[in-house]
């Protein structure tokens, strides 16, 4: 394509990308909750989502205090009234037993239906199977218990309930009080606040917090020195979002500035910098377009991880846009870039087959972006022209001592023995020490530090969950556990109990007789007698039972709501085990351990393992591609360098970290792609006898710089990713510079060659030798400052280049040297040569190296590759016999 | 005439009672010299041991339930109520909570603020925490001719007022002699204290029995 067509194509692509993004982005849901990272749609994920979005995640713990003073009732009332007025607050409770008033009322109302069956189970275990139990027996047992209770010291505080509850059924609820937080007196008033919206949306964060501030202002009218502190998932979510946003902005800005600074410093021209920038922007836009077209829900973390794409894409731009500024010919450069990018892109595209949506999104983003980066870099690569990069930036590969590579690996690789995998959801947490301190302080003050293992017994609805809880308690024996099933008989048991007593109409009479005979005043039990009659006559059924359970679920305050939870798709009963006790009989029961951070961490573990499996599969594919493109020897060599760089990186990280996780694996994958890129260039350059292109050096600097900045991130995952990449790139550089024992060295040191020229150091005009390949040599001549260049000088520089070629093409193990005999022709193509910039020399022998006369054709070009001088000259190489005779 | 004399006698008796009351009545907010002397006598922080006899009356039961045993108090250890009648059990009340022990059965009581307030009440009374009493109750005291006194306490606001109507403390030269509580729902409790010993030293066996939380 012509240059103009290229630009038109680019403009059309850019417009197309914008159109796709404008159309698709509003339709795509960008998930931010960590819960959305959980793989699959299984029940555990449902439960966790329900907990985070609707249940515990919506609960705030709030403290009001007024220094040394108690919080006044009027101020508290004003605060609560303001909360009532807020649409963002669903409910609120003061954290004491008054919070249980509503739930206690429901339980009191339902005591015969829910608690009496347990009383019967305790005293007459076989009552349901039809054993004979008489009215008098039950009455006598009831009065026995009543007497025993009255003889207990604690009856002192409870006995006013006895006329309404002679069965002492509410005493079964004593343990309910145990799960209320033990709030320390004098610390102020503590409240639970249930927010109406998800903690991950704006309404559940800033809008809610503004309403709380307003409530405080209302309360301060009554008590001016009132202070408020609160904590909850929404507080962390909001602060974390703000922290991550500012951190990403800071890191991206610093990274971009650094890349620009290095590029401008190295290239010193605006046009290539702009082209490189365009490749970067277009490839990122393309990657985003691919993801939003393929997925209707995209997780923001996938984009954050995917942003490492820019680190690779910018390398392709460096290599292709700066192609004519280094020693490798364009074909070799293109081949290396295409081989590297296609193999890396395939490596990521294969992730589309991963079972986890999040990884598929990363694969689509990076894979698509890499292909796009290659295409855009090819389109934006200049057709011709451009000045050569300073060869000071280039380095030669495999020049170190042969022992350096093995020695490096010997020191580093034993670190792999310390490698442990440890997947932690906390790696994604933005550190919020102040908020965490407030959270810990409030939770300590409300006794939230007690650790009990929690389990959820679930079902499609509350009835199903209750049934499952019953089956579990029958199977497990139920000893030592705490759950709402203790206050709530099953529908079947409840019905059986009612029918049992309905079939005994003389029970009340027997009871009254028993009471009177033991000194009780039976008339005092009138409240009980009235309620008992209503209980026996009521119509019951599953609907009524479910309504009562729902009523209790709604009445439970704060975190106690988790004990009976009615969700849209899933309902559950929570079971608390005693400290150190684990739930048994987990198999075949709809039960799950409630450990959100553990579940999220194990999900991360699944991500890592899947990624590892795919990475190994991808690397095999990449190896195959390299062997096809470069042959088994060079392909395998490049692969081995990249593979050892990754292994070294993981080994160094194993020394540095206690456990490696998902972000180390992602970093290693990226380090492999970049190292492979460098290895291909190093091998190609070595084969051509030239220095590794300066674009690789720039790439190394920008990569190390950008990831060095990322390594300062406060988010552990980002820091781990960056450190892994830095270690990988650093290792690759060491291996590329080191003596690679299995590699045949083709490299002549430029300095060594120049020192062997017979002209003497003062007469040498060449400033650098760019490359020697076959019969060609390319070199650079930098004129002295302030002096015009004479054509003769350029011819002399060409002759020195020819002499350097002779040195680098020894014959019979001996170096050759010759003397300039005659200049056959010298064509001055520009009237006047005035330049202070380097002049590019190309000299080609017109015959193979041999003794005697050799003809050379040479040209000198300026920085814009305009030919200044062309020349043909001959050199005489004395035959070996003459040299000996001379000696 | 007889009628006039009777009226005059009644008026004189009333005047005498009124004059006498004006001298001996007091409250915690406005104590008199006699009460201050009692306070001085009671305020020692020395450990106390005494026997108690408790009668509990309920509207739904014809006879009072009788309890008896030993009360021990020390500012460091808190209050211990060792029941010997009708069965053996121990209630230990400290700032950390209320521990109930009967044989091997050991439980922490007082989850509700009402319960806690009730048990805390005894602890405060034995600690002779007048500041707390003044804060929580409206008080009315009276000295009798023999030097005995009665202090009536009516809870103001808070958890205690939900269950307690009135508390009457009675004492004399020997210190606090009786605690009577009128509870809501017509329940009454009267605790008589006897054989009071102060500056006692609890030996290991007694500590183990009366303050089980020390040995956990």
Give which of A815, A802, A811, A796 is closest to A756, Cα–Cα: A815
Minimum distance, in Å, between the CA of residue A111 and any CA atom of chain B: 19
* A180–B163 CB contact, under 8 Å: no
Say which of A151, A157, A180 has its CB closest to residue B118.
A157
Say which of A150, A178, A524 has its CB closest to residue B111.
A178
Place of tokens 């204290």: B193
Minimum distance, in Å, between the CA of residue A529 and any CA atom of chain B: 14
**Residue pair B154/B138 in contact by the 8 Å Cβ criterion:** yes
* A162–B58 CB contact, under 8 Å: yes
Tokens read off for A15: 């417009």
* B100–A153 CB contact, under 8 Å: yes
Give which of A789, A799, A884 is closest to A834, Cα–Cα: A789
Q: How far apart are CA A37 and CA A365, in angstroms?
A: 16
Nearest chain B residue to A515, by CA: B61
Q: Which residues of chain A have pLDDT under 50?
A: 325-326, 386-387, 449, 747
Minimum distance, in Å, between the CA of residue A645 and any CA atom of chain B: 59
What is the rounded (10 degree) CA torsion for B110, B113, B118, B121? 110
Residues of B with CB below 8 A from A159's CB? 56, 58, 185, 187
Say which of A96, A153, A174 has its CB closest to residue B81.
A153
Cα→Cα distances A597→A440, A600, A603, A697, Å = 17, 5, 10, 43
Place of tokens 């947490």: A429
HEC secondary structure over B117-133: HHHHHHHHHHHCCHHHH
pLDDT of residue A515: 92
* A156–B189 CB contact, under 8 Å: yes
Instruction: Using a CB–CB cutoff of 8 Å, tell me whether B103 touches chain A.
Output: no
DSSP string covering A560-607: GGGGEEE-SS-EEEEEEEPTT------TTSSEEEE-HHHHHHHHHHHH
Please provide the distance, in angstroms rounded to a whole number, between the alpha carbons at the two ends of chain B: 77
Cα→Cα distances A444→A183, A192, A665, Å = 9, 15, 37
Sequence-separated (6 or more) residues with CB below 8 Å from residue B14? none
Cβ neighbours of A502 (radius 10 Å): 12
* A525–B62 CB contact, under 8 Å: no
Residue A173 is given by DSSP the state G
* B119–A151 CB contact, under 8 Å: no
Q: Measured at the alpha carbon of residue A580, what is the angle toward residues A578 and A581, in degrees to the nearest 5? A: 55
Nearest chain A residue to B82, by CA: A153
* A520–B67 CB contact, under 8 Å: no
* A521–B185 CB contact, under 8 Å: no
* B113–A97 CB contact, under 8 Å: yes
DSSP string covering A673-707: HHHHHHHHHHHHHHHHTBPBPHHHHHHHHHHHHHH
Instruction: Using a CB–CB cutoff of 8 Å, tell me whether B66 touches chain A.
Output: no
* B183–A160 CB contact, under 8 Å: yes
Helices marked H in B50-188: 113-127, 130-136, 159-163
Residue A771: strand, helix, or coil: strand
Nearest chain B residue to A180, by CA: B111
Tokens read off for A570: 């899933």
pLDDT of residue B13: 43
Q: How far apart are CA A778 and CA A800, in angstroms?
A: 11
Q: How far apart are CA A383 and CA A200, in angstroms?
A: 51
Minimum distance, in Å, between the CA of residue B9 and any CA atom of chain A: 45
Nearest chain A residue to B63, by CA: A519
Greater model confidence, B127 or A90? A90
Q: How far apart are CA A708 and CA A706, in angstroms?
A: 5
* B111–A154 CB contact, under 8 Å: no
Residue B72: strand, helix, or coil: strand
Long-range contacts, stretch A706-714, CB < 8 angstroms, 24+ apart: A706/A255, A706/A258, A706/A259, A706/A311, A707/A311, A709/A251, A709/A254, A709/A255, A709/A258, A710/A251, A710/A255, A712/A251, A713/A247, A713/A251, A714/A243, A714/A247, A714/A430, A714/A431
Residue A860: strand, helix, or coil: strand
Pairing of strands A819-828, A776-781: unpaired
Say which of B83, B100, B185 has its CB closest to residue A160.
B185
Helices marked H in A268-308: 270-294, 300-306
B20 alpha-carbon distance from chain centroid: 26
Cα→Cα distances A106→A110, A478, A484, A678, Å = 6, 24, 13, 72
pLDDT of residue A276: 85
Residues of A with CB below 8 A from B185's CB? 159-160
Of the pLDDT bands very low, low, confident and very high (cuts 50, 70, 90), residue B19 is very low
* A160–B163 CB contact, under 8 Å: yes
**Residue pair A181/A95 in contact by the 8 Å Cβ criterion:** yes
Q: Which of B58, B102, B132 to mutate to test the interface with A (most CBs of A within 10 A)?
A: B58
Say which of A151, A154, A160 has its CB closest to residue B187.
A160
Nearest chain B residue to A174, by CA: B111
Residues of A with CB below 8 A from B100's CB? 153-154
Nearest chain A residue to B86, by CA: A151
Beta bridge partner(s), residue A483: A575
Q: Which helix (H) or strand (E) holds B137?
A: strand B137-143
Q: How far apart are CA A735 and CA A500, in angstroms?
A: 85
Q: How far apart are CA A320 and CA A297, in angstroms?
A: 35
Minimum distance, in Å, between the CA of residue B165 and any CA atom of chain A: 13
What is the rounded (10 degree) CA torsion for B7, B11, B13, B14? 140
**Residue pair B55/B190 in contact by the 8 Å Cβ criterion:** yes
Residue B92: strand, helix, or coil: strand
Rg (CA), chain A: 40
pTM of the model: 0.65
DSSP string covering A228-275: EEEEEHHHHHHHHHHHHHHHHHHHHHHHHHHHHHHHHHHH--HHHHHH
Tokens read off for A162: 């006895």
Residues of A with CB below 8 A from B119's CB? 157
Give the pLDDT confidence of A9-65 residue by residue, as tens digits: 888 989 999 999 999 999 988 876 666 766 656 667 777 777 777 677 888 889 998
Q: Which helix (H) or strand (E) holds A781?
A: strand A776-781
Buried residues in B181-208 as b, exposed as e (16+ CB within 10 A): bbbeeebbbbbbbeeeeeebebeeebbe
Chain A positions contacting chain B at CB under 8 Å are: 96-97, 150-157, 159-160, 162-163, 174, 177-178, 180, 519-521, 524-525
Q: Measured at the alpha carbon of residue A196, what is the angle toward residues A193 and A199, in degrees to the nearest 5? A: 85
pLDDT of residue A449: 43
Sequence-separated (6 or more) residues with CB below 8 Å from residue A329? A688, A773
Residues of A with CB below 8 A from B67's CB? 153
Q: Would you say the ipTM is above 0.85?
A: no
Residues of B with CB below 8 A from A178's CB? 111
Tokens read off for A237: 């979510």
Minimum distance, in Å, between the CA of residue A519 and any CA atom of chain B: 6
Residues of B with CB below 8 A from A174's CB? 111
Q: Which of A151, A162, A190, A529 to mutate to test the interface with B (most CBs of B within 10 A)?
A: A151
* A521–B100 CB contact, under 8 Å: no
Say which of B81, B112, B184 has its CB closest to residue A97.
B112
Greater model confidence, B8 or A682? A682
* B112–A177 CB contact, under 8 Å: yes
A408 alpha-carbon distance from chain centroid: 31
Tokens read off for A875: 């050199």
Q: How far apart are CA A695 and CA A326, in angstroms?
A: 8
Nearest chain A residue to B61, by CA: A520
Phi first, then psi, for residue A522 (nearest 5°) are: -65, -30
Q: How far apart are CA B144 and CA A762, in angstroms?
A: 127
Orientation of helix A662-688 relative to helix A330-349, angle to 10°: 160
Torsion-angle region of A780 (φ positive above 0: left; ψ -120 to 50: alpha; else: beta): beta
* A152–B65 CB contact, under 8 Å: no
Instruction: Using a CB–CB cutoff of 8 Å, tell me whether B154 touches chain A.
Output: no
Give the pLDDT confidence of B23-74 residue by residue, as tens digits: 477 777 777 777 887 777 777 668 889 999 999 998 889 988 899 999 998 8
Nearest chain B residue to A520, by CA: B61
Tokens read off for A827: 């064509």
Place of tokens 């006899």: B53
* A159–B91 CB contact, under 8 Å: no
pLDDT of residue A791: 76
Pairing of strands A819-828, A839-845: unpaired
Tokens read off for A795: 């011819």
Residue B183: strand, helix, or coil: strand
* B114–A163 CB contact, under 8 Å: no
Q: Which of B55, B60, B64 to mutate to test the interface with A (most CBs of A within 10 A)?
A: B60
B199 alpha-carbon distance from chain centroid: 20
Instruction: Using a CB–CB cutoff of 8 Å, tell me whether B114 touches chain A.
Output: yes
Buried residues in A503-524 as b, exposed as e (16+ CB within 10 A): ebeebbebbbbbbeeeebebeb
């Amino acid at each position: 394509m012509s240059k103009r067509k290229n630009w038109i194509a680019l403009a059309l692509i850019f417009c197309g990308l914008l159109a796709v993004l404008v159309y698709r982005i509003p339709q795509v849901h960008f998930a931010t909750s960590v819960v959305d990272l959980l793989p699959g749609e299984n029940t555990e994920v449902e439960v966790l989502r329900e907990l985070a979005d609707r249940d515990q995640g919506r609960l705030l713990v709030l403290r009001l205090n007024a220094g040394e003073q108690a919080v006044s009732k009027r101020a508290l009332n004003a605060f609560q009234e303001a909360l009532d007025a807020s649409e963002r607050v669903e409910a609120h409770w003061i954290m004491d037993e008054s919070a249980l008033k509503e739930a206690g009322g429901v339980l009191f109302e339902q005591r015969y239906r829910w608690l009496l069956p347990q009383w019967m189970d305790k005293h007459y275990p076989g009552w349901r199977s039809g054993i004979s139990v008489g009215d008098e027996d039950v009455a006598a047992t009831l009065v026995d218990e009543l007497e025993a209770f009255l003889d207990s010291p604690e009856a002192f505080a409870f006995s006013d309930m006895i006329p309404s509850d002679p069965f002492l059924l509410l005493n079964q609820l004593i343990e309910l009080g145990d799960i209320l937080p033990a709030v320390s007196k004098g610390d102020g008033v503590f409240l639970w606040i249930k927010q109406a919206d998800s903690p991950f949306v704006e309404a559940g964060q800033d809008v809610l917090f503004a309403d709380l501030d307003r409530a405080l202002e209302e309360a301060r009218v009554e008590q001016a020195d009132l202070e408020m502190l609160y904590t909850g998932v929404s507080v962390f979510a909001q602060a974390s979002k703000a922290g991550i946003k500012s951190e990403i902005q800071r890191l991206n800005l610093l990274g971009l500035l650094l890349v620009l600074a290095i590029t401008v410093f190295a290239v010193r021209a605006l046009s290539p910098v702009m082209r490189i920038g365009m490749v970067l922007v277009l490839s990122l836009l393309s990657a985003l377009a691919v993801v939003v077209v393929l997925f209707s829900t995209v997780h923001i973390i996938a984009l954050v991880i995917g942003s490492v794409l820019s680190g690779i894409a910018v390398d392709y731009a460096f290599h292709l846009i700066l192609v004519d500024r280094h020693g490798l010919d364009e074909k070799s450069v293109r081949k290396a870039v295409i081989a590297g990018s296609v193999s890396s892109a395939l490596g990521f595209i294969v992730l589309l087959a991963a079972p986890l949506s999040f990884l598929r999104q990363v694969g689509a983003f990076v894979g698509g972006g890499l292909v796009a980066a290659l295409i855009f870099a090819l389109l934006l690569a200049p057709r011709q022209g451009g000045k050569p990069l300073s060869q000071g930036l280039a380095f030669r590969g495999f020049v170190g001592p042969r022992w350096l590579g093995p020695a490096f690996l010997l020191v580093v690789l034993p670190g792999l023995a310390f490698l442990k995998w440890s997947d932690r959801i906390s790696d994604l947490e933005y550190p919020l020490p102040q908020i965490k301190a407030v959270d810990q302080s409030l939770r300590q003050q409300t006794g939230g530090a007690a650790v009990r293992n929690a389990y959820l017994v679930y079902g499609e609805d509350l009835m199903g969950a209750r049934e499952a809880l019953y089956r579990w308690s029958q199977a497990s024996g139920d000893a030592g556990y705490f759950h709402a099933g203790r206050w709530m008989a099953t529908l079947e048991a409840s019905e059986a109990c009612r029918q049992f007593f309905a079939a005994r109409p003389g029970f009340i009479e027997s009871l009254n007789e028993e009471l009177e005979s033991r000194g009780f005043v039976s008339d005092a039990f009138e409240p009980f007698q009235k309620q008992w009659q209503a209980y026996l006559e009521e119509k019951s059924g599953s609907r009524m039972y479910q309504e009562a359970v729902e009523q209790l679920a709604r009445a439970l305050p704060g975190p106690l709501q988790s004990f009976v939870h009615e969700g849209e798709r899933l309902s559950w009963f929570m079971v608390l085990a005693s400290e150190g006790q684990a739930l048994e009989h987990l198999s075949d029961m709809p039960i799950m351990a409630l450990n959100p951070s553990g579940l999220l961490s194990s999900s991360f573990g699944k991500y890592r393992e899947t990624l590892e499996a795919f990475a190994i599969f991808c690397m095999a594919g990449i190896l195959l591609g390299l062997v096809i493109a470069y042959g088994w020897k060079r392909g395998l060599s490049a692969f081995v360098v990249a593979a050892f760089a990754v292994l070294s990186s993981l080994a160094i990280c194993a020394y540095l970290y206690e456990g490696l996780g998902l972000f180390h694996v992602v970093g290693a994958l990226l380090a492999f792609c970049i190292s492979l890129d460098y290895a291909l260039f190093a091998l190609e350059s070595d084969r051509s006898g030239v220095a590794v292109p300066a674009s690789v050096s720039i790439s190394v600097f920008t990569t190390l710089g950008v990831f060095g900045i990322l390594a300062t991130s406060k988010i552990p995952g980002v820091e781990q990713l960056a450190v892994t990449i830095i270690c990988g790139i650093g290792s690759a550089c060491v291996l590329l510079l080191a003596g690679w024992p299995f590699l045949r060295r083709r490299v002549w040191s430029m300095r060594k060659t120049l020192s062997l020229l017979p002209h003497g150091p003062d007469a040498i005009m060449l400033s650098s030798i760019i490359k020697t390949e076959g019969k060609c040599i390319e070199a650079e001549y930098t004129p002295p400052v302030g002096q015009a260049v004479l054509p003769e000088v350029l011819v002399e520089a060409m002759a020195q280049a020819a002499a350097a070629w002779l040195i680098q093409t020894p014959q019979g193990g001996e170096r050759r040297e010759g003397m300039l005999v005659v200049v056959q022709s010298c064509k001055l193509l520009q009237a006047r040569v005035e330049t202070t910039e380097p002049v590019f020399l190309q000299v080609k022998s017109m015959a193979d190296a041999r003794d005697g006369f050799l003809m050379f054709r040479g040209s000198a070009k300026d920085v814009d590759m305009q030919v200044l001088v062309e020349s043909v000259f001959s050199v005489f190489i004395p035959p070996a016999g003459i040299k000996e005779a001379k000696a | 005439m007889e009628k006039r004399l009777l009226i005059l006698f009644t008026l004189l008796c009333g005047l005498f009672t009124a004059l006498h009351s004006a001298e001996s009545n007091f409250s915690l907010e406005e104590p008199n010299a006699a009460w201050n002397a009692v306070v001085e006598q009671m305020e020692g922080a020395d450990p106390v041991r005494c026997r108690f006899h408790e009668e509990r009356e309920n509207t739904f039961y014809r006879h009072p339930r009788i309890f008896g045993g030993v009360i021990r108090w020390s500012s460091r250890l808190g209050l211990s109520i060792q029941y010997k009648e009708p069965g053996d059990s121990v209630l230990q009340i400290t700032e950390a909570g209320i521990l109930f022990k009967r044989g091997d059965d050991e439980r922490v009581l007082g989850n509700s603020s009402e319960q806690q307030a009730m048990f805390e009440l005894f602890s405060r009374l034995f600690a002779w925490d007048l500041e707390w009493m003044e804060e929580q109750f409206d008080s009315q005291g009276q000295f009798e001719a023999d030097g005995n006194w009665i202090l009536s306490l009516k809870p103001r606001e808070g958890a205690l007022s939900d269950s307690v109507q009135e508390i009457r403390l009675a004492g004399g030269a020997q210190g606090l002699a009786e605690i009577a509580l009128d509870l809501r729902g017509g329940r009454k409790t009267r605790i008589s204290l006897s054989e009071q010993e102060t500056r006692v030293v609890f030996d290991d066996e007694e500590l183990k029995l009366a303050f089980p939380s020390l040995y956990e």
